[in-house]
A = this chain, B = another copy of it.
Amino acid sequence: MVDQTVNVTLTEDTKQKPVAEQLEFGRVFTDHMFIMDYIEGKGWHNPRIVPYQPVTLDPAAIVFHYGQTVFEGLKAYVTKDGEARLFRPEKNMQRLNRSNERMCIPHLDEDVALNAIKQLVSLERDWIPTAPGTSLYIRPFIISTESYLGVAPSKTYQFLVILSPVGAYYKEGINPVKIAVEDEFVRAVKGGTGEAKTAGNYASSLKAQELVSDKGYAQVLWLDGLEKKYIEEVGSMNVFFKINGEVVTPALNGSILEGVTRNSVIRLLNHWDIPVAERKISMEEVYEAYEKGLLEEAFGAGTAAVISPIGELSWKGEQLIINDRVTGSVSKRLYDTLTGIQYGTEEDPFGWIEKVK
């Protein structure tokens, strides 16, 4: 067993922290980062916290050519009382390993990885912004570093964790967005890499996203790659529809990401005795419900926005206006409860919060 003590080298040159109003998403990074190396035969070793610094790789490193890489995304929040905390971080570590499995990347010890994250967040405690809705975004990722142009899994890797203070997703309160249903481009298909959190899925989404942004839509809603019929997910969120009193979300089918927020939403709905179903759902079904006046709410669910109500859905030239473009009551309740648990203004009945000392 390789020694897993994290070696810490502090920076001599701390950066200025951004002011709350200027916080964006993912542009500013903290003073330190975590790194750990992997070499075939030796395993993961040399966990260390170092000053935030560039990554130096051979130009033939596999990550540049064949994209063998995985990542995660979670947040650290601070309560009124100044307590730093994570939301279900063990779920992210489990998903990281599921992604590793699909991408032929060696497993990480989930406790080692989570402790590294907690130690780094603890060191960067003062970087967690305190204004309402702000947080410290945590980006763990693994890159393949072997210098080799053959198409084969790398024999060496680096696991890194970087931190970015991020602004409130909703600057003026939770607000419904416009989403376009995508029926030309495909994000993922069963047997592909859709259920892994890996670079290629996001690279393939850029084009569709670019085309719809030009038309004023926030994101695309992906349909299944086979028949372009069944609903998959939205950009970097899972998606839910409330139809005639029941909340429906696409079942995990091998091509969508299993979101931590998705899972939390389902748990909360069950807890509240609101009917919820994980199943195949087609765009036709959503449209029919809409025509009959039964499409009550629609929303995305993901770490960045928590809950993102959908006010308008564009599909085959039709505009479906949902709940008069107003945030629905279930969407609102989910948003308030989840953020309440995260920021410590609500009870945490499920033990979802992990404190960082």
Interface positions of A (Cβ within 8 A of B): 25-27, 29, 33, 52-61, 63-69, 71, 102-104, 137, 139, 141, 143, 147-153, 160, 162, 164, 184-193, 198-207, 209-210, 225-226, 228, 235-236
Contacts A/B (CB < 8 Å), 11 sampled: A54-B59, A55-B58, A55-B64, A64-B143, A64-B199, A67-B203, A151-B235, A152-B206, A153-B210, A187-B192, A199-B203
Given contacts A189-B192, A203-B66, contact A60 B210 (CB under 8 A): no
Is the Cβ of B60 less than 8 Å from the Cβ of A102?
no
CA distance A129 to B6 in the complex (A): 46
In the complex, what residues of B have CB within 8 A of residue A55's CB?
56-59, 61, 64
In the complex, what residues of B have CB within 8 A of residue A64's CB?
55, 63, 69, 141, 143, 199
Is the Cβ of A199 less than 8 Å from the Cβ of B66?
yes
In the complex, what residues of B have CB within 8 A of residue A59's CB?
29, 33, 52-55, 160, 162
**Chain A interface secondary structure, helix, strand, loop or mixed?**
loop
CA distance A54 to B64 in the complex (A): 12
Is the Cβ of B162 less than 8 Å from the Cβ of A66?
no
Is the Cβ of A192 less than 8 Å from the Cβ of B225?
yes
Q: How near does chain B come to A304, taking the closest CB pair, in angstroms?
A: 9
In the complex, what residues of B have CB within 8 A of residue A103's CB?
203, 206-207
Which residue in chain B gives the minimum CB-CB distance to A206? B104
In the complex, what residues of B have CB within 8 A of residue A52's CB?
59
In the complex, what residues of B have CB within 8 A of residue A66's CB?
199, 202-203, 206
CA distance A49 to B21 in the complex (A): 44
CA distance A191 to B225 in the complex (A): 8
Q: How near does chain B come to A213, taking the closest CB pair, in angstroms?
A: 9
In the complex, what residues of B have CB within 8 A of residue A137's CB?
149
Is the Cβ of B199 less than 8 Å from the Cβ of A199?
yes
Q: How near does chain B come to A289, taking the closest CB pair, in angstroms?
A: 26
In the complex, what residues of B have CB within 8 A of residue A188's CB?
192
In the complex, what residues of B have CB within 8 A of residue A201's CB?
200
Q: How near does chain B come to A221, taking the closest CB pair, in angstroms?
A: 14
CA distance A287 to B112 in the complex (A): 50
Is the Cβ of B225 less than 8 Å from the Cβ of A189?
yes
Q: Of B65, B162, B199, B236, which contacts A60 at CB under 8 A? A: B162
CA distance A150 to B207 in the complex (A): 14
In the complex, what residues of B have CB within 8 A of residue A206's CB?
66, 68, 103-104, 151-153
Which residue in chain B gives the minimum CB-CB distance to A64? B143
Which residue in chain B gives the minimum CB-CB distance to A193? B204
Is the Cβ of B139 less than 8 Å from the Cβ of A67?
no
Which residue in chain B gives the minimum CB-CB distance to A103? B203
CA distance A236 to B151 in the complex (A): 9
